[in-house]
Amino acid sequence: MEFPIIQKNWKKGMHKVGIVYPNLYYGGVYCLGPLILYNIINKLDNFICDRVFLDKGDVSKYDLVGFSLQYAPDYYNFLKMRKDCKGIVFAGGPCVNMNHKTLSKYVDFFVLGEAEVVMEEILGKFEGNKEKFLEEIKDIKGVFVPGKTKKESFAVVEDINDINYPLYQPFPEKIDKSFVFDKVFMLEIERGCNFQCKFCAMPQLYGKTKYRSLENIKKIIDDGLKLNKRNKVMIYSASFSHPQRKEILKYLIEKKVRFSVPSLRVELVDEELLQLIKKGGQKTLTIAPEADEKARVKLGKNVKDEKYFEFIELANKLNFETLKVYFMVGVDENLDEMIKLIEKIKEKFKKRTYISVNPFIPKPRTKLEEKVFDKKDIKQRIKYLKKNLSKIKVKFSGVSQAESDWRLGLVNQI
């Protein structure tokens, strides 16, 4: 049993919508995108909406089936589930926004951009007839109907404070160790990113950061915690750059609510912020130097190594237990300088470090989208790192899976 769920009485003339996270339930419950649509669609009189997962739910019973595609590997699960769909199939999410052509053969229409602003208009055109429906929605901004829409466009939220927040966030009443996190209330405080990292699609997809007002955030916290009966908040943010981020954390602390924050931009952190994070019950900090300093700057992440060392000093001072550190290979990095940086980080942080090295995957709609994924070169780089970092525990992600993700992101059709 899940709680809280939106309960609606079935009446004649209603249409069923399934919003699908095409992967396992224990990870999908933490994805905010499907929850946004679940909340929006269930407010419409003539529609009833359920969430569906790879291992939970049946896509065959819905008039419309919407897939939220967050990661390229989910394409395979999408194809598997698509076979059972009997209704109209639509898709959205980050993967679709970067390249919708990949799945154009299997999708009746795409929602490009931020679905909150167009979903009501789209569903308002639906009366049951597929061809009539697709013809009527083909020119809506943010809708792309393969074979009908002539030019792609993106739906954009102008003011994030004007859209309703997804307060209903169902979780199973009991969770086990298979779940990624605790039962939390997910709080999106901002959307987009002001930084211009060349490898990241966020600025291109969502533009400059849109911040929720502190007043709005406080109301969402109050209403969300009361409705969901949770005592922990997971803060959603690309860079945690909200100008009132300290005030947000102070409010949560005042309410005696635990919270977790995302990966931190070290240049935005000071001791007071880390003290607040510690008071909120978080024991682990996450940072992403990406590569050696010279390569990092070329990537558009203009942060000196010294800033990371200063951050680590503060983390030590405040007795944080774990530091997660993320790097990439395949970005023209200087491997010897990167090795030195990893060794220094390991030496300077006094407790447990989790260091991860991942192959760089060029993504559509980024400044590095035309860079070729050189599998042979990346394998050689990882081999060199493993040899020279043998005394340090480092997790290396698979090269073959990364290459597959790259190809899926670029192809016009599968």
4: preceding bond cis by omega (within 30 degrees): yes
Last-in-domain residue among 115, 144, 173: 144
Residue 195 sits in a domain whose CATH number is 3.30.750.210
Tell me, yes or no, whether 24 and 58 share the same domain.
Answer: yes
231 within some domain: yes
Evaluate if residue 180 carries a pLDDT over 80: no
263 within some domain: yes
Region 93-120: mean pLDDT is 96
Tell me, yes or no, whether 306 and 344 share the same domain.
Answer: yes
Tell me, yes or no, whether 10 and 140 share the same domain.
Answer: yes
What pLDDT was estimated at residue 204?
79
Confidence of residue 177 (pLDDT cuts 50, 70, 90): confident
116 within some domain: yes
Tell me, yes or no, whether 92 and 200 share the same domain.
Answer: no
Confidence of residue 182 (pLDDT cuts 50, 70, 90): confident
172 within some domain: no
Torsion of CA 22, 26, 30, 33, to 10 degrees: 20
pTM over 0.85? The answer is yes
Region 229-239: mean pLDDT is 95
Residue 10 sits in a domain whose CATH number is 3.40.50.2300
Phi-psi domain of 13 (left: phi exceeds 0; alpha: psi -120 through 50; beta: other):
left
Tell me, yes or no, whether 131 and 76 share the same domain.
Answer: yes
What pLDDT was estimated at residue 49?
98
Tell me, yes or no, whether 306 and 387 share the same domain.
Answer: yes
151 within some domain: no
Cα angle value 249/68/195 (rounded, 5°): 45
Tell me, yes or no, whether 134 and 10 share the same domain.
Answer: yes
Residue 411 sits in a domain whose CATH number is 3.30.750.200
**Closest by CA position to 168, among listed 65, 55, 40:** 40
Tell me, yes or no, whether 298 and 414 share the same domain.
Answer: yes
46 within some domain: yes
Q: Could you read off the pLDDT of 285-302 as tens digits, one per residue? A: 999 999 999 999 999 999
170 within some domain: no
CA–CA distance, 244 with 250 (Å, rounded to integer): 10
What pLDDT was estimated at residue 202?
87
CA–CA distance, 281 with 279 (Å, rounded to integer): 5
Tell me, yes or no, whether 288 and 305 share the same domain.
Answer: yes
Tell me, yes or no, whether 198 and 308 share the same domain.
Answer: no
CA–CA distance, 152 with 325 (Å, rounded to integer): 38
Tell me, yes or no, whether 263 and 289 share the same domain.
Answer: no
Domain that holds residue 377: 283-414
Last-in-domain residue among 90, 117, 144: 144
Evaluate if residue 413 carries a pLDDT over 90: no
Residue 376 makes CB contacts below 8 A (sequence gap 6+) with: none
Burial (CB < 10 A; 0-12, 13-18, 19+), residue 187, is buried
Tell me, yes or no, whether 374 and 299 share the same domain.
Answer: yes
Q: What total number of domains does the chain contain? A: 3
Biggest CA-to-CA distance, the chain: 68
Q: Could you read off the pLDDT of 355-397 as tens digits, one per residue? A: 999 999 999 999 999 999 999 999 999 999 999 999 999 999 9
- Of 74-83, 310-319, 362-371, the range with the lowest mean pLDDT is 362-371
What pLDDT was estimated at residue 173?
85
150 within some domain: no
Maximum mean pLDDT: which of 53-62, 198-207, 365-374:
53-62
* SS3 call for 339: helix
Last-in-domain residue among 253, 282, 311: 282
